[in-house]
Amino acid sequence: MKINTAEFVVSNSDAKKCPNEPIPEYAFIGRSNVGKSSLINMLTNQKNLAKTSSRPGKTQLINHFKINSNWYLVDLPGYGYAKVSKKTKSTFQKFITDYFEKRQQLVSAFVLVDIRHEAQKIDLEFMQYLGQSEVPFSIIFTKADKVGKQKVNSLVADYRKKMLADNWEEMPPYFVTSSEDKIGRDEVLEYIDEINKE
Ligand code: GTP
Ligand code: MG
């Protein structure tokens, strides 16, 4: 799929106030610093569309980016960041869970995980939560430039094992990406394009 236009539309801390056009959207979620905002920039071929930082906790709101005037990419705050206050954490949690549980336009979520780390409890718990909430999701392995190409398959195989041990019948669709080296761009965009055509 070709991206002709990508524009920031709005930031929200309340899922109810997100844009109410009936067009499909895809949300990026995962631990703070995993590379959600960087991936949005990589997919849209823009340097600073989504704000990124080497320090975790950069994205603090629900951010809607309109693509080709007919669908949205949604950047969300990360979870698992220890340094935000308890109050901020519970506010985040509330609007993120509201988003996943109530957002009619949400077609599918992408759960981002750093390919270097074995499956983390917090990510597996979040995937269970999505499953229970009946939100379709796929997995995006990020930062693939940080591991050798030959290691990718065994890391993914290990991840799959952990998911099966966590009672999933199969691994969801998954993508191996690097925002640094622009790996996985076509695959993710084709996947979205296929769903948009359904
Ligand atoms: P929060 O908004 O805090 O939840 O983080 P985020 O998940 O949006 O992460 P962000 O995109 O801001 O990136 C965090 C850090 O990881 C930045 O320093 C990025 O440059 C770096 N990073 C992101 N993707 C990649 C990648 O594919 N490869 C490498 N080497 N670094 C990456
Ligand atoms: Mg971010």
Point out the ligand 1 atom lying closest to the alpha carbon of residue 30.
7
Distance of CA 33 from the midpoint of ligand 2 (Å): 7
Residues within 5 Å of ion ligand 2, judged at the Cβ atom: 36-37, 58-59
Closest C-alpha to 113, from 143, 71, 72? 143
How many residues are given for the chain? 198
Ligand 1 atom with minimal separation from the 56 CA: 3
Would you say domain 6-197 falls under CATH 3.40.50.300? yes
Give the pLDDT score at 89: 73
Nearest residue to 73 (alpha-carbon basis) of 29, 104, 34: 29
Ligand 1 pocket test, pick from 179, 182, 188 with the greatest ligand atom count within 8 Å of Cβ, gives 179
For the record, the structure tokens of 176 come out as 């191996």
The domain locations on the chain are 6-197
Question: pLDDT of 54-72, one tens digit each?
Answer: 999 899 999 999 999 999 9
Query: 7-63: per-residue pLDDT in tens?
Result: 999 999 999 999 999 999 999 999 999 999 999 999 999 999 999 999 998 999 999
Pick the atom of ligand 1 nearest to 54's CA. Answer: 18
pLDDT band of residue 81 (cuts 50, 70, 90) is confident
